[in-house]
Amino acid sequence: MSRVRVRNLTKVFGKRTQQALEMVKEGKSKQEILEQTGATVGVHNVSFDVEDGEIFVIMGLSGSGKSTLVRLINRLIEPTSGSVYINEDDVSKMSKDELRQVRRTKVNMVFQNFGLFPKRTVLENAEYGLEIRGVGKKERQQKAEQALDNSGLLSYKDQYPEQLSGGMQQRVGLARALANDSEILLMDEAFSALDPLIRRDMQDDLLELQEKVQKIIIFITHDLNEALRIGNRIALMRDGKIMQIGTGEEILTNPANDFVREFTEDVDRSKVLTAENIMEPALTINVETEGPNVALQRMRKEEVSMLLAVDRKRDLKGSLTAESALDARKNEKKITEVLDKNVQKISKDALVTDIFDLIYNSPTPLAVMNENDRLIGVVVRGSVIGAMTDKTEGTAEKEGVNIDA
Amino acid sequence: MLDFLQQEIPLPNWIDSGVNWLTEHWSGLFSILQTVGEAVMNFTTNTLSAVPPLLMMVLLTVAAFFVFNRKLGFAFFTLIGLLFIYNQGMWADLMNTVTLVIISSLVAIVIGVPLGILMSKSETIQNIVKPILDFMQTMPGFVYLIPAVAFFGIGMVPGVFASVIFSLPPTVRMTNLGIRSISTELVETSDSFGDTAWQRLFKLDLPMAKENIFLRIVPDGLLVTRHLSSHQPAH
Ligand SMILES: Nc1ncnc2c1ncn2[C@@H]1O[C@H](COP(=O)(O)OP(=O)(O)OP(=O)(O)O)[C@@H](O)[C@H]1O
Ligand SMILES: [Mg+2]
């Protein structure tokens, strides 16, 4: 069972909560409810699970209730109704002491404006969680230094937050949360105050970190590109309700409703989709077991003018055009002698935006390789263009390796 | 109706009898305060006066240099000022005044800071205390000398009493404001790590409000002394 489970969580700000909830059920808009009752529906009937090692992104426009939702999880905001289970325990029903214990050891938070204490040095900031927990001076210092060291900030430990750049400050904020070594990390727009380049770095670092430490990360953002980049799954919120939960691809390719469709419409797909998303099956010839005749026959059947040559282990050997196959047959050469070895390889994680340039300069399809450098597919011009022209129905048409080379 | 407006409410009489009642029934407490206060003040003044004036001047000048971020100008004017006072034969008066400022600032902190903390933590307390503070501050400082003299007789203690009443409101206010103006995010940060109320107070509230509190208390102490100096009963 998932360690974090949110069930029917609701928060109404204001006094006449009951009336406001009735009106929500009648389908009244947030605006109407506010005018009639003076109450604001922050979060309404939200349920989801988060798995171990997952980055769960909560996304939505300003005022959609993201910050409220994340604060309901560690109960910085009291829920109106519903439950938040961490392991087996319902946070919303805990006593003050139990809640404090959860905050000290299980859930930590990283804030949009870093939440660093200005009168404390970087090290003292990083120690804060441990200090609150009552960890002895020596031990907490050593742990905090370790956490700072991991983010390459150890040399700044005696500086004050204002002496650091925004990116560095947030690294301290993150290091502070990590020094506490809790299993769940809540990040409310943690990178939103940073400029785009730094932001990208931070996203990369977070992904790398997650690879190593496998926390449960609940990450809030209003930026769809960020969500798609780092989220294993994304929950899209609107007016306090969740519109859809799914992987980035599911949300892009299968929007649950018009709101989601509109929301995702102007995503720059080239920055989201990877080679793996748009690649097609590679038509190959096995140089160890097959000869030019098989190659030519396969080309005829598939109506292509070239094949990729691999060995038994699917290590890429080169490409074979129809002409060179004919040449090999006529002059009784081995296939390996006539191969064109200059096939461009790309990683399966290469972003489409980075593939653009390559594909226009490459006469042959790009070979998509997995992490073990085995051929898993090809990307042709057609598939790149197909991916860009909003395909909501499945993947691009199969075009084979039918390039006009 | 008109009749009512013409008929003077005997407020002065009420106050008179109130003060009389206090002086009669609480005179024991007042005289203890008076005696203890006088003793503490005398001790402080005597200690200060026991330091040779020249040594004191050097100490204060060096202190000024460091307190004001090592600016030579401040230290220089401190020295000139002290020399001038000495030259005018007012060194003993200065030591008296310094005692008054130190003692009344201490008392104001001891009473005012906790009150300010309470006020910052509860809307109800804030709503009750605020108008009282407003009232206290509308009066000029020397007004408080009148009841003070009635309670404590003549001497340094009524001076401290008046100074404290005068500088208490800003102390309470600045403590309250200092704590309330800590950004929500910092409060949330501290809470999110599972702080207790005391941890919050000592690790976040007070360090953040410290400057607010202390930057106001000493100047206020000086201000009230200036107010009082022209009205203070001879000592
Ligand atoms: N303390 C509060 N009292 C009353 N209403 C509140 C309070 N906090 C939030 N709200 C309301 O709840 C709704 C959700 O706010 P929330 O801050 O969760 O949105 P958000 O998605 O985080 O937006 P943003 O992207 O601007 O941070 C908003 O309509 C907001 O006005
Ligand atoms: Mg927010």
pLDDT values of chain A reduced to their tens digit, one per residue, 405 residues: 789 999 999 999 998 888 888 888 888 888 888 888 989 999 999 999 999 999 999 999 999 999 999 999 999 999 999 999 999 899 999 999 999 999 999 999 999 999 999 999 999 999 999 999 999 999 999 999 999 999 899 999 999 999 999 999 999 999 999 999 999 999 999 999 998 888 888 999 999 999 998 999 999 999 888 998 899 999 999 999 999 999 988 898 888 999 898 888 777 677 777 888 788 888 888 988 888 888 999 999 888 888 999 988 888 888 888 888 888 888 888 888 888 888 888 888 888 888 887 887 777 788 999 888 888 888 888 777 777 765 444 433 333 343 333
CATH code at position B155: 1.10.3720.10
Distance CA A366, CA A377 (A): 9
Task: Answer whether A64 contacts ligand 1 (Cβ < 6 A).
Answer: yes
> What are A173's two structure tokens?
């904020």
Residue carrying structure tokens 């937050």: A161
Token digits of residue B109: 């902190």
In this structure, what token pair is assigned to residue B189? 């940060």
Taking CA atoms, what residue in A is nearest to B191?
A76
Token pair listed for A387: 């991916």
Residue B215 lies in a domain: yes
Is residue B158 in some structural domain?
yes
Strand pairing report for A216-221 and A184-188 = parallel
Identify whether the C-beta of residue A353 lies closer than 8 Å to the C-beta of residue A375: no
Domain spans in chain A, listed from the N-terminal domain onward = 4-106+182-267, 275-388
Atom of ligand 1 nearest to the CA of A61: 25
Q: Quick one: pLDDT at residue A403? A: 37
- Using alpha carbons, list the distances in angstroms from residue B161 to A365, B85, B223: 91, 26, 15
CA distance A110 to chain B (A): 8
Q: How far is the CA of A67 from the centre of ligand 2 (A)?
A: 4
- Give the model's pLDDT for residue A402: 38
* Cα gap B214→B221, rounded to integer Å: 11
For residue B212, tell me if it sits in a domain. Answer: yes
- Among A67, A113, A187, residue to substitute to test ligand 1 (most atoms within 8 Å of Cβ): A67
| Residue-level pLDDT at B235 | 41
In eight-state DSSP terms, residue B167 is H
Taking the CA of residue A11 as reference, the ligand 1 atom at the shortest distance is: 12
> pLDDT for B165-215, tens place per residue?
878 888 899 999 999 999 999 999 999 999 999 999 999 999 999 887 776
Edge-first strand order for the sheet with A233-238 is: A107-110, A184-188, A216-221, A55-60, A233-238, A241-246
CB distance A66 to ligand 1 below 6 Å: yes
Residue from B225, B190, B222, B210 nearest B113 by CA: B210
Task: Give the residue among A193, A246, A253 at the shortest CA–CA distance from A223.
Answer: A193
Residue B53 inside a domain? The answer is: no
Q: Is the pLDDT assigned to residue B33 strictly greater than 90?
A: no
Angle in degrees, CA A301, A307, A313, rounded to 5: 115
Give residue B64's pLDDT. 86
A4-106+182-267 is classed CATH 3.40.50.300: yes
* Helices assigned H by DSSP within B91-196: 91-121, 123-138, 145-152, 156-180, 184-192
Place of tokens 């020295």: B79
- The pLDDT value recorded for residue A397 is 38
Interface predicted TM-score (ipTM): 0.74
Domain count of chain B?
A: 1
**pLDDT score for A220:** 97
Best residue in B187, B188, B192 for a mutation probing chain A (most A CBs within 10 Å) = B192
To test the ligand 1 pocket, which listed residue (A11, A12, A13, A57) has its Cβ within 8 A of the most ligand atoms? A13
- In this prediction, residue B32 carries a pLDDT of 87
User: With 0-12 CB in 10 A as exposed, 13-18 as middle and 19+ as buried, what is A62?
Assistant: exposed
Closest B-chain CA to A178: B193
Residues of chain A in contact with residue B188, where contact means CB-CB under 8 angstroms, are 71, 76, 109, 111, 115
A199 Cβ contact partners less than 8 Å away, ≥ 6 residues apart: A191, A226
Ligand at shortest distance from the CA of A77: 1
Q: Does B77 fall in a domain?
A: no
For residues A189 and A57, the answer to whether their CB atoms sit within 8 Å is no
Q: Print the domain residue range for B178.
A: 90-229
Question: Is B163 within 8 Å of B100 (Cβ atoms)?
Answer: yes
Ligand nearest to the CA of A111: 2
The span from the CA of B227 to the CA of B235, in Å, is 16
B185 and A111: CB-CB below 8 Å?
yes
Residue A174 makes CB contacts below 8 A (sequence gap 6+) with A110, A151, A190, A206
B3's enclosing H/E stretch is: helix B2-6
Ligand 1 site, residue A238, Cβ cutoff 6 A: no
* Chains A, B: CB pairs < 8 Å: 59
Coil, strand or helix: which one is A84? strand
Angstrom distance (rounded) from CA B78 to CA B63: 10
**CATH topology (fold) of A275-388:** CBS-domain (3.10.580)
How far apart CA A369 and CA A375 sit, in angstroms, is 5
**pLDDT tier, B127 (very low <50, low <70, confident <90, very high otherwise):** very high
Whether B124 is covered by a domain: the verdict is yes
Q: Are strands A241-246 and A233-238 parallel, antiparallel or unpaired?
A: antiparallel
Distance CA A48, CA A21 (A): 20
Is the C-alpha dihedral spanning A261, A267, A272, A276 positive or negative? Answer: positive
CA of A240 to the centre of ligand 2 (A): 12
Average pLDDT, chain B: 84
Q: Which residues of A touch B (CB under 8 A)?
A: 71, 74, 76, 99-105, 107-109, 111-113, 115, 117-120, 128-129, 131-133, 180, 186
